[in-house]
Amino acid sequence: MRQPLPLMSGHMDFVVLGQQIVNGLVNGMAYVLIATGLTLIFGVLRIVNFAHGEFYMLGAFITYYIITLMGVDYIWAAAIATVVVAGLGILANVLFFWPLRKEHEFTILLSSLGLALLLTNGGEVIFGADPKYIPSPFSEEIVELGDIFVTQQRVLVFGVGVVVLVALYYFIKNSTMGKMMRATAQNPEGAALTGINIRKVHAVTFLLACGLAALAGALVGPTAMIFPTVGSWAVLKGFIVVIMGGLGSIPGALVGGLLLGVIESLGGGYISLGFAEAIGYAIIIVVLLWRPQGLFGVARKA
Amino acid sequence: MITRRILMAAGAALMAGSLFAGVVQAADKPPVRIGAILPLSGAGAFDGQLAAEGMEAMASIINKKGGILDGRMIELVKYDDKGVPEEAVSAAKRAIEQDKVDAIVGGWFSAVALSLKEETRDKMLTIMTSSQHPKVTEEGHKYNFRLNATSTMNSNTYSKFICDKMGLKTIAFITINDDYGRLEAQNYEKLLGECGIKTLGNEYYNRNDTDFTTALTKIRALKPDAIYVSAINTSQGATIYRQIRQVGYKGTIIASAGNMNPKLVELSGPALEGVYSVSLFAPDSDNPVLQEWIAEYKSQFSNEPAFIGSLGAQAVQLLADAMNKVGDSRDYDKIAAALKDGAQETLLGTFEFDDKGQALQQAYLIRVVDGKITSVKD
Amino acid sequence: MTNRFLSILAIAVLAILPTLTGSSYLHHLMVLWMIFALMALSLNIIIGYLGELTFGHAAFFGIGAYAGVIFGMDYGVGGVAALIIAGAIAGLFGLVIGYVALRIVGPQFAILTLGFGSIIYTITNYWVDVTRGPMGITNIPPLSLGTEWLTFTTAKQYFYLSFVCVVIFAYVLHALVSSRTGRAFIATRENPQLASSIGIDIFRMKLLGFVVATVVAGVAGALYAHYVKVITPELMGLQYMSAFVIMVIVGGRGTIVGPIIGALIYVGLLELLRPLGAMRLVIFAALLIASVIFLPGGLVSLWRKVFYRRGSAGDVAKEA
């Protein structure tokens, strides 16, 4: 049924290639933002948090409601939503993850799965099952880089993503809390012994991670429609990137996320759209079999 | 949801009260129960909700006028099929055996509809509203009916319009990867090819996709005069329409037949302005029953009345009229015969069922003008 | 000894259960319970006995369903042969995937299985010529052993068929766990280094367990397909996958009774909560969280807590 691409000048082919790569990078940055939070929680706290995607969903929905119910501008709404959900993250920690910290990792994993189900279905009941659209002034405005078209919203996703990641990197490297987080990541018992307030580390980690997820939701939301079940999509992508990049590695999340985005875009564009996701998975399988600890990960001692 | 329940309870109380006050002692007549098996959670939840609302509005209208069969009220019993076949089967069994409904209306997803009809085969009067899988009526049974048009039925009207009135030379498709989408693409490619419109490309997307820029980038590179978008899911449809403009495509957009609804218009914003489609439901039609239903719907629910709701309402109306004609709510042989006997007058117009139970309905050309769905009178 | 008596009692009760009611609605639920119990038991081998989380198990359920149906409808191999073929093909996939993936452990293993599962889902969705893609396969004929009266058409018959499968499998598991191989499994799970140092080939153990699990999943899939008569690629999807995991964990992983109870809870509770309408899944999720937090060993651990004093030698084997 499909005709081959008409052979216009080679220029056109390059334009399409460039467009697909740009698309991939933007999608990839969304994955990076989601994955970074997830990898933080795993790296520092050794928790596999299935409910992570739900904070992405909440970020998107709270942004929507702040704009439509309170008439606030998009940028402010996104910022407020990020802060609110970061706070909800701390609440989730206090209610679920901190009390369970001594349990078997399966228990924590399963209760996070339950939390995810609760938030998704609760979201359906409270927000309604109908899809919604976050009205952002950037989503329809197009930026032209030569022959390549990108909406301002997508540029925003990429730009803010880079800024936030750089900020996070310096925070973890240089600040006191950052050092405490790294110490906890390396050796939880040792860290506690040297007097690090693990409780505070827990709280800050969740604050950062859920804030990142919410920011991703608020930024990426306007590029499509939002609905309460988008959380499971987000957490799935997040996990794939985290594992590929290496559990607990932020550079890994960055490279892994962008790589996944570009692979999906190119695979879909040049091989087959239907198999775009499958190609992504295939690449991940190859990476994992070659380097089980992920691209930047440290080999985990069982 | 709670307000709706309170409204319905209040309405029921009012009706009961007025019946007592009235001359006719109908208070001891059992209700006619219609089981509605719909996706009320999971992927199709919004559509299921719209269908249920449409049915309730019609039931309210009928009940306000005294119900059917000499004073029996219509009662809707809702079941969630979660969009999964075995849930529909559980729901149907429960409806037939425990709750003893008189008829079943349902079948949004094709796989669900196919299982459902097997469960009700020769046992229970069933009206499928929207599933478009051909086997629903091909392998149907004597009590099984389907209201929605199959895509082949719509394509004749639509392709003629596209050929004659739109002045296109080339076209590209973006369709969903399933029976409906593939059939759609095949069909239109052939019909449009016959009047000289060349198909430059066809991209299939999946049920769970949320981003379409990869496919649309490819299509844009082909530079077709128009892009034909085939999307049943409102969320995916709205995203596609918006993203078509976001990748920089400036040509014409054609919306596939049978998939236009107010939510889609709301979510797609400026991207859908001026776009044509075909539908069984034209909200500005002057059919009095339709207008009455729209008014009732708006008074009860906050959603805009949509196509899927109108099909649900049509199902209720058909059942009520047929049961009245026969004088019984459970003589399925007679009711089925009454439904297949000649012209049925409904809120969507007059039509007939063929002997497999497929409705042969009139399709209307529609267009989005100023953010509203309006019919096109040529 | 008490355990053996209780098992026989339970089997007897379940055997007469369908006769206690004429409602085909309840029969339907019982069939789903048995088929899902089979799935949960097989998943339990991987999660409970091998100690590894997997997200690809629903793929084997789907493979079994499709294999059983395609061989039955296109090649005329019906009945029990279809079930065996379904199991064999699923097991073959399990062998290949297990061989590749089982050297990895932990979350990486989970993602690997997820990846394989998703690829299989995508192939099923796109190989329209064979699987009819997203339209699915409909009108699947009932399972039959050749003659008229051995054709399974009613829910009750499918119940007994699945029930027999569950009993057989449960017994096999019990024997396995009490045997040397079983103890090797447990050693592998609890302390891999120690296990390998005394000569247990960890990898072969894991592969064996994995393949057995996938074979049974395949059989369950084929049973499901012939009962519900409609299959789509969604069988391999996230909804079913999380359902199976929930059954195993809530029921009690690492036990034999646990997954069976878990399947019952899943099917039964969801049906019971129907009148709650939209709140149904919210309540279900809340109960799931509660059960995970308060009963991390699953519902089976509740039994053990109550009957703690009655511990006998037989219980130790059941502990595994």
Chain C's closest residue to A282, CA to CA, is: C115
Pairwise CA distance, residues A14 & B204, whole Å: 23
**What pLDDT, on the 0 to 100 scale, is given for residue A75?**
94
Shortest Cα–Cα distance, B23 to chain C (Å) = 36
Shortest Cα–Cα distance, B137 to chain C (Å) = 13
* Contact residues on chain A for C242, CB-CB shorter than 8 A: 113, 117
Give the residues across from B128 on adjacent strands.
Answer: B106, B146
Pairwise CA distance, residues B184 & B190, whole Å: 10
- The beta strand positions in chain A, using DSSP E, are 142-145, 148-151
- pLDDT per residue of chain B (378 residues) written in tens, 0 to 9: 455 555 444 444 444 444 443 334 445 688 999 999 999 877 778 888 999 999 999 999 999 998 888 889 999 999 988 888 888 888 898 899 888 999 999 988 877 888 888 888 888 888 888 877 777 887 778 899 999 887 777 787 888 888 888 889 999 999 988 777 888 888 899 999 998 999 999 998 887 788 899 999 999 999 999 999 998 888 899 999 999 999 889 999 999 888 888 899 999 989 999 899 988 888 888 899 999 999 999 999 988 898 889 999 999 999 999 999 998 888 999 999 999 988 888 898 888 998 888 988 888 889 999 888 888 876
Shortest Cα–Cα distance, A186 to chain B (Å) = 38
Chain A's closest residue to C296, CA to CA, is: A107
Asked if A128's CB is within 8 angstroms of B46's CB, the reply is yes
**What pLDDT, on the 0 to 100 scale, is given for residue C317?**
42
Quick: pLDDT tens for C63-85.
999 999 988 877 777 677 888 99
* Contact residues on chain B for C28, CB-CB shorter than 8 A: 89-90, 93
Strand B359-360 to B349-353 pairing: antiparallel
**What pLDDT, on the 0 to 100 scale, is given for residue A9?**
53
Check if the beta carbon of residue B174 is closer than 8 Å to that of residue B213: no
DSSP B69: T
Check if the beta carbon of residue B110 is closer than 8 Å to that of residue B136: yes
C242 at A interface, C-beta within 8 A: yes
Chain B's closest residue to C279, CA to CA, is: B41
Which of B 3-42 lie inside 8 A of C, CB atoms? 40-42
**What pLDDT, on the 0 to 100 scale, is given for residue A205?**
94
Nearest to A224 among B201, B210, B270 (CB): B210
Q: Number of C-alpha atoms within 13 angstroms, CB side, residue B21?
A: 6
CATH of range B152-279; options 3.30.70.1140, 3.30.70.980, 3.40.50.2300, 3.30.300.180: 3.40.50.2300
Q: Residues near B20 by Cβ (< 8 Å), separated by ≥ 6?
A: B27
Amino acid at A132: K
Nearest to B267 among A121, A131, A230 (CB): A131
Quick: pLDDT tens for A125-155.
899 888 899 999 998 888 888 888 889 999 9
Check if the beta carbon of residue A226 is closer than 8 Å to that of residue A132: yes
Shortest Cα–Cα distance, C54 to chain B (Å) = 22
Q: What is the phi-psi region of residue C71: left when phi exceeds 0, alpha when psi lies from -120 to 50, beta otherwise? A: alpha
DSSP C255: S
- Among residues A120, A3, A140, A125, the alpha carbon closest in space to that of A51 is found at A120
Residues of chain A with pLDDT below 50 are: 1-3, 7-8, 301-302
Asked if C119's CB is within 8 angstroms of A282's CB, the reply is yes
Nearest to A3 among B201, B215, B247 (CB): B201
Chain B's closest residue to A131, CA to CA, is: B235
* Contact residues on chain B for C274, CB-CB shorter than 8 A: 79-80, 94
**b/e map A51-75, b = 16+ CB within 10 Å:** bbbbbbbbbbbbbbebbeeeebebe
How many other CB atoms are there within 10 angstroms of residue C284's CB atom? Answer: 21
Give the residues across from B346 on adjacent strands.
Answer: B349
* Contact residues on chain C for A284, CB-CB shorter than 8 A: 111, 115
Asked if B267's CB is within 8 angstroms of A1's CB, the reply is no
Check if the beta carbon of residue B96 is closer than 8 Å to that of residue B120: yes
C134 at A interface, C-beta within 8 A: no
Helix (H, G, I), strand (E, B) or coil at B142: coil
Check if the beta carbon of residue A302 is closer than 8 Å to that of residue C202: no
Amino acid at C136: G
**What pLDDT, on the 0 to 100 scale, is given for residue C150?**
67
Nearest to A278 among C53, C119, C242 (CB): C119
- Among residues B228, B263, B256, B231, the alpha carbon closest in space to that of B373 is found at B263
B304 at C interface, C-beta within 8 A: no
Asked if C24's CB is within 8 angstroms of B110's CB, the reply is no
Pairwise CA distance, residues B114 & B92, whole Å: 12
Nearest to B45 among A124, A133, A140 (CB): A124
- Among residues A115, B328, A285, the alpha carbon closest in space to that of C284 is found at A115
Asked if A288's CB is within 8 angstroms of C246's CB, the reply is no
Shortest Cα–Cα distance, C127 to chain A (Å) = 11
Q: In Å, what is the CA distance from A124 to each residue of A117, A214, B265, B344?
A: 11, 18, 22, 38
Amino acid at B325: K
Strand B170-176 to B226-230 pairing: parallel
Check if the beta carbon of residue B108 is closer than 8 Å to that of residue B132: no
Cα–chain-centroid distance for residue A294?
Answer: 17
Handedness of CA B5, C268, A233, A275 (dihedral sign): negative
Quick: pLDDT tens for C236-277.
988 888 889 888 888 888 888 889 999 999 998 888 887 777
Packed helices C155-178 and C2-16: angle between N→C axes, nearest 10 degrees:
170
Check if the beta carbon of residue A231 is closer than 8 Å to that of residue A216: no
Shortest Cα–Cα distance, B342 to chain A (Å) = 38
Give the residues across from B253 on adjacent strands.
Answer: B227
Nearest to A289 among C100, C126, C253 (CB): C100
B208 at A interface, C-beta within 8 A: yes
Residue in this structure with the two tokens 């925003």, named with its chain if needed:
A156
- Among residues B201, B196, B258, the alpha carbon closest in space to that of B224 is found at B201
Q: Residues near C314 by Cβ (< 8 Å), separated by ≥ 6?
A: C1, C2, C3, C4
Give the residues across from B144 on adjacent strands.
Answer: B126
**With pLDDT > 70 as the criterion, what percentage of chain C qualifies?**
92
B302 at A interface, C-beta within 8 A: no
Nearest to A239 among C105, C106, C111 (CB): C111
A223 at B interface, C-beta within 8 A: yes
pLDDT class of C148 with cuts at 50, 70, 90: low
* Contact residues on chain C for B36, CB-CB shorter than 8 A: none
Check if the beta carbon of residue A92 is closer than 8 Å to that of residue A119: no
Q: What tokens appear for A86 in the block?
A: 């970061």
A229 at B interface, C-beta within 8 A: yes
Check if the beta carbon of residue A42 is closer than 8 Å to that of residue A36: no
Measured in degrees and rounded to the nearest 5, phi and psi for residue C313 equal -60, -35
Nearest to C24 among B84, B97, B182 (CB): B97
Q: What angle do CA A272, A276, A282 make, to 5 degrees?
A: 115
Check if the beta carbon of residue B128 is closer than 8 Å to that of residue B113: yes
Nearest to C25 among B42, B90, B177 (CB): B90
A113 at C interface, C-beta within 8 A: yes
- Among residues C56, A133, C137, A230, the alpha carbon closest in space to that of B208 is found at A230
Amino acid at C37: A
Q: Where are the domains of chain B?
A: 29-149+285-362, 152-279
Pairwise CA distance, residues C233 & C59, whole Å: 9
Which of A 235-274 lie inside 8 A of B, CB atoms? 264-265, 268-269, 273-274
Amino acid at C233: P
Check if the beta carbon of residue C246 is closer than 8 Å to that of residue C284: no
User: Is residue C16's pLDDT more than 90?
Assistant: no
* Contact residues on chain A for C282, CB-CB shorter than 8 A: 118, 121-122, 125
Chain A's closest residue to C247, CA to CA, is: A110
Residue in this structure with the two tokens 């091909």, named with its chain if needed:
B138
CATH architecture for residues B29-149+285-362: 3-Layer(aba) Sandwich (3.40)
Q: What tokens appear for C140 in the block?
A: 């699947």
Amino acid at A110: L
Which of B53, B114, B175 is most worth mutating to test chain C (most C CB atoms within 10 A of its CB)? Answer: B114
Check if the beta carbon of residue B201 is closer than 8 Å to that of residue B145: no
Q: Residues near B55 by Cβ (< 8 Å), separated by ≥ 6?
A: B34, B36, B76, B105, B309, B312, B313, B315, B316
* Contact residues on chain A for B246, CB-CB shorter than 8 A: 139-140, 142, 149, 151
* Contact residues on chain C for B207, CB-CB shorter than 8 A: 134
Chain C's closest residue to B91, CA to CA, is: C25
Asked if C25's CB is within 8 angstroms of B111's CB, the reply is no
**What pLDDT, on the 0 to 100 scale, is given for residue B13?**
45
